[in-house]
Structure 1
Amino acid sequence: MSLGIRMLGVGVGVAATLVSVSSAQAQNTDDLPASALTLTVAQGDSLESASSQRSVVLVCAPTVLGTHPATGSACDELNAAGGDFEKLHGRPMRMCPMIYDPVTVAADGIWQGSPVSYRHTYPSMCAAENRSTYVFEF
């Protein structure tokens, strides 16, 4: 048997294994409780008094999708924090200018089957980015 035919056989075997692993993973994610959130970033010290707001949808289970520009990374960041927004790590701490320009971030929806309603006001967008790399980056 030539090397080319053996390599083709190995490639087909690897492809079949990847398909079966992907199928198994897809089936496992169907068993996960729902995780779907509406995320909001508002310019102001509350959602009600914000001068501007932008919102996205982030779905992390049973499948990853939504209008968030980095759905996979945002879901990974939330999963690493156990869905606890207070435990998000964000970027390495950096110095932010001491200019008060408040930003309020919010999350409403369901995380792993439990209701979520989170609000936090930061003194600036720089301070907010120190807490979350992807979740509120849109």
Structure 2
Amino acid sequence: MKTLAVLLAGTAIAAGPTAAFAGTLPPPPQPSGVTAVNPAAPVAPAAEIPPAVAVVPGSKLPQGAPAVKVPPAAPVVPGTKLPPAASTTPVSKIRPIANRTRALILTYAAGEAAKPERYAVLSCPASFAPLRERDEACGVVNRVKGDLTQLKPSQNTFCPMMFSPVTVTAHGIWDGRYVDFKHTFGNACEMHSATGSVFDI
């Protein structure tokens, strides 16, 4: 038994230096054209991808948000009137200034071709005094819509058979129409019978 222990100890001593220096020795020379390759690092296993969800034929896929239901439009019965989109206050149309103007320049002269003796402006609605006379004059002109040639003598007025001519004129605008009137009457009575108080200026 002692002899076996001595042999094992001698074997360990003989092999010990070689094993001790084995880790410090350089690697053996490689043949020409051969490159030393380090052992590859272990590759981690790939991350597992969860399998896709199986779709059952005929089933609906889930949506991100529920759809908003729009109520259907009410049926329209033929012949019925649709209500207006929004209630609005009716706006009256404004006529152009020329269509709203009622103004005449009046003249009066004794004679057939005499120079006018009196001038006046008739603006309707009446805006000058005396108000009553201007209102009457506006009413006379308005009845013929500004066309003074349509004025006819009154059947209830009787004028003397006397020749004393008077000439009257009217120029201006009446409801968008230009007025250019001139007439010579046999006397002032005939003028009043036809024109009323228009030329009482």
Q: Please give the alpha-carbon distance, in whole angstroms, between the structure 1 residues aligned to 2:158 and 2:191.
A: 12
Q: Please give the alpha-carbon distance, in whole angstroms, between the structure 2 residues aligned to 1:93 and 1:86.
A: 20
Aligned with 2:194 (options 104, 124, 131): 131
Deviations 1:29-75 (A, max 9, x none): 997521111111110102xx24x611110111xx4324676221111
Q: Please give the alpha-carbon distance, in whole angstroms, between the structure 2 residues aligned to 1:68 and 1:88.
A: 23
Distance 1:92 1:137, change over 3 A: farther
Please state whether the residue corresponding to 2:189 is helix, strand or coil: helix
Aligned with 1:38 (options 105, 115, 139): 105
Partner of 1:111: 174
* Structure 1 residue 120 corresponds to structure 2 residue 187: no
Partner of 1:55: 119
Over alpha carbons, which structure has the higher Rg?
2
Normalising to structure 1: TM-score of the pair? 0.65
Q: Please give the alpha-carbon distance, in whole angstroms, between the structure 2 residues aligned to 1:106 and 1:81.
A: 16
Alignment of 1:79-98 (within 5 A): 79-89=142-152, 91-98=154-161
Q: Please give the alpha-carbon distance, in whole angstroms, between the structure 2 residues aligned to 1:114 and 1:84.
A: 9
| Offset, 1:93 | 3.9
Please, what is the CA RMSD of the aligned residues? 2.7
Paired residue type of 2:174: W
Please state whether the residue corresponding to 1:73 is helix, strand or coil: helix
Normalising to structure 2: TM-score of the pair? 0.46
**Between Structure 1 and Structure 2, how many residues are aligned?**
107
* Structure 1 residue 64 corresponds to structure 2 residue 126: yes
Paired residue type of 2:135: G
Q: Does the 8 Å contact 1:57/1:67 carry over to 2?
A: no
Q: Please give the alpha-carbon distance, in whole angstroms, between the structure 2 residues aligned to 1:41 and 1:80.
A: 21
Structure whose residues are more often helix by fraction: 1
Percent identity, aligned pairs only? 32
| Offset, 1:97 | 1.7
Q: Which of structures 1 and 2 has the larger relative contact order (alpha carbons within 8 angstroms, sep 6+)? A: 1
Runs of 4 or more above 4 Å deviation: 28-32
